[in-house]
Amino acid sequence: MPLSAHAQEAAQRPKWTLVIHGGAGIIEKSRVTPEQEAGVRAGLEAALEAGSKVLAAGGDSLDAVQAAIQVLEDDPHFNAGRGAVFTWEGKNELDSAIMDGRTRAAGAVAGITTTRHPVAAARAVMEKSPHVMLAGAGADQFAREQGLEQVDNSWFGTPERRRQLDKMKANSKLGWFDVDLKYGTVGAVALDEKGHVAAATSTGGLTGKRWGRIGDSPIIGAGTYADDRACAVSATGSGEYFIREGVAHEICARVRFKGETLKAAADTVMAETQALGGTGGVIVTGPTGEMAWSFNTPGMYRARASSSGERLVAFYGEDHP
């Protein structure tokens, strides 16, 4: 007896999916050295491997996105954890969020300075506190109380990030923006074999940020969102615009209420964000097994893998759409 179209579609669906990003911006072949390209590619591959290992073993999407993010937080090629950009005062202040699509439980931290893996702190907020977001010294104190690994703030800094801050300070025309216009935020979204989605994002913010500035990454519904009824989203870009658009939630809402594909919803919301003046990108996956990304910058460091055997790493706009 032939399978129904619905049954055939279900049979072809991947059992699990994983999509990650390492930031978007002016990422063009002419601006990225072979050494940088090799380093970023190795980092994305390692993160993809860490998350895929969890999912292939039947693990939870929540564990997979955290595993992938922690690899990227330890890799100085990305603006998260070690390798995070400097604030105007010459410190590293880190933001992160994580969300469980099953229950829409979420946790986030902003402006932490001594916790090695900000995404682990975000998960602890979700699971071990009655709150969704903690900030600053209190968030670091909470992380210490939860026994999370602590480091000196200097551990996060690198000579290249210091150079970027010095360049910005020396040129007042650079104003409020990252020197190289690369939003090196990292993110991961995943679907597990049980049909549950999760999302996580981690960032050092913008070079030269002041006054405790916080972008979209730790804000649930802006830079991070997950809902089993729709999809999981992680964003990277000019955070102020992503907050105003409510990018991550807006994509999920279009999928849930209008029945749009993940790609169509992401493209529409990114176009609306660009109309406001915002640049960057998003990664998305959902219960259907669809994986998508959308960005309005020259490039986005991105990668995806699934139980179907697909494994792709891409950098530039001319790469795989």
> Tens digits of per-residue pLDDT, 87-146?
999 999 999 999 999 999 999 999 999 999 999 999 999 999 999 999 999 999 999 999
**Does the structure show a pLDDT above 60 at 276?**
yes
**Tokens in use for 89?**
């005062």
Residue 3 or 140, more confident: 140
* Helix/strand/coil percentages in the chain, nearest 5: 35, 25, 40
**How far does Cα 243 stand from its chain's mean position?**
15
Structural domains of the chain in order of their starting residue, each with its CATH number: 14-316 (3.60.20.30)
pLDDT in the model for residue 1 = 43
pLDDT in the model for residue 173 = 63
pLDDT in the model for residue 35 = 86
Average pLDDT over all residues of the chain: 91
- The count of other CB atoms within 10 Å of the CB of residue 160 is 13
Catalytic positions: 185
CA dihedral 223, 238, 204, 168 (to 10 degrees): 180
pLDDT tens sequence across 185-209: 999 999 999 999 999 999 999 999 9
* DSSP string computed for 54-94: HHHTT--HHHHHHHHHHHHHT-TTSSSSTTPPPPTTS---E
Q: What percent of the chain has pLDDT over 90?
A: 79
- The count of other CB atoms within 10 Å of the CB of residue 249 is 19
Q: What is the H or E stretch that residue 126 is in?
A: helix 118-128
pTM over 0.75: yes
Phi, psi for 72 (deg, rounded to 5): -70, -35
Nearest in space to 202 (alpha carbons), one of 81, 93, 83: 81
Task: Summarize the confidence of residues 285-312 as an average pLDDT.
Answer: 94
Task: Summarize the confidence of residues 72-81 as an average pLDDT.
Answer: 95
Q: What percent of the chain has pLDDT over 70?
A: 92
At 137 the three-state DSSP class reads: helix
**Does the structure show a pLDDT above 90 at 63?**
yes
Task: Summarize the confidence of residues 235-242 as an average pLDDT.
Answer: 94
- Sorting pLDDT into bands at 50, 70 and 90, what band is 11? low
> Pairing mode, if any, of strands 182-183 and 224-227?
unpaired
pLDDT tens sequence across 130-150: 999 999 999 999 999 999 999
